């Protein structure tokens, strides 16, 4: 059994906070502890910011955020049609490297249990993030 919450979000910076609040309410209601809720909040915001910052035309298309709640995990998908990018060219920041951008994906991977990024140039990107319940 699973419950699904699906949000269609305008591709504007001011709506990222609304997504963050909605997803953190789902996670908190599902019994994730405070630290895990915080991790989920940051990860989903980073994924949304990625669409808004790097998408070719996110303001026009908007994007979708879905949260699927299973007994043992929360699966979050951020799906856009904002033009995609070459995910293979993404380079994780090295220790001590000061980079103004490019931290978002690194942070998502550090905070979530499983992360996959599927991007098609000319189309869009799907970022899937999974957080597991430690105890339920």
Partner 1 sequence: MALSVESRLIINEREYWEVKLRGDVDIANAADFRAALREAYFEKPADIIIDASELSYIDSTGLGVIIGAYGRMRDKGHGILIENPKANVKKLLNITSLDKIFCQEEVLA
Query: Cα(16)–Cα(49) distance, rounded to whole angstroms?
Result: 7
Write down the least CB distance from residue 57 to partner 1, Å: 17
Residue ranges in 77-136 that form contacts with partner 1 under rule CB under 8 A: 93, 95-96, 98-101, 103-104, 106-107, 110-111
Q: Which of 5, 49, 75, 126 binds partner 1 (CB under 8 A)?
A: 49
Strands across the sheet containing 3-9: 3-9, 63-69, 73-80, 125-132, 114-119
Contact between 45 and 16 (Cβ < 8 Å): yes
Write down the least CB distance from residue 89 to partner 1, Å: 18
Number of Cβ within 10 Å of residue 12's Cβ equals 11
Write down the least CB distance from residue 55 to partner 1, Å: 12
Neighbouring C-alpha atoms within 13 Å toward the C-beta of 133:
14
Chain contacts with partner 1 (rule: CB under 8 A):
13-14, 16-17, 20, 35, 38, 41-42, 45-46, 48-49, 52-53, 93, 95-96, 98-101, 103-104, 106-107, 110-111
């Amino acid at each position: 059994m699973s419950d699904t919450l699906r949000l269609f979000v305008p591709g504007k910076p001011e709506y990222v906070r609304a997504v963050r609040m909605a997803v953190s309410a789902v996670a908190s209601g599902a019994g994730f502890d405070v630290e895990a809720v915080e991790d989920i909040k940051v990860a989903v915001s980073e994924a949304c910011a990625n669409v808004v910052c790097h998408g070719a035309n996110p303001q026009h298309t908007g994007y979708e955020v879905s949260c699927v709640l299973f007994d043992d995990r929360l699966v979050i998908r951020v799906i856009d049609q904002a033009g995609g990018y070459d995910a293979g060219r993404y380079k994780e920041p090295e220790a001590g490297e000061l980079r103004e951008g490019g931290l978002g994906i690194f942070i998502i991977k550090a905070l979530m249990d499983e992360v996959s990024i599927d991007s098609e140039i000319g189309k869009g990107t799907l970022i899937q993030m999974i957080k597991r319940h430690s105890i339920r």
